[in-house]
Amino acid sequence: MPEVNGLEVLKRVKENPSTAGIPVIMLTANTDADSFESAVDKNADRYVAKPFKSSFLMEKIEEVLKDYGLKKRSYDSDAADI
């Protein structure tokens, strides 16, 4: 991102009352402890370092949905509605 980095976006999202409840999973190439701690301090819901397997990302998404009390939507059933 040219003007702000992901941690700044996370900070802005979580500090704004209108967007603070939006779950955020950080996908990053930063694997150092300081980056992880900064994301946790700014209330990232999960932190996933690249490279990662899609199954691992899906696991993290499902964890966040569970944390927020949301249900996973079936995209197969959505396709039938189109």
Domain residue spans in the chain? Answer: 6-80
* Per-residue confidence band for 69, with pLDDT thresholds at 50, 70 and 90: confident
Is the alpha carbon torsion for 20, 11, 9, 51 positive or negative? negative
Highest CATH level, class, for 6-80: alpha beta
**pTM of the predicted model as reported, rounded to 2 decimal places:** 0.76
pLDDT at residue 51 above 50? Answer: yes
Long-range pairs, 15-22, Cβ under 8 A, ≥24: 21/68
pLDDT digits (tens, 9 = 90+) for 3-17: 899 999 999 999 999
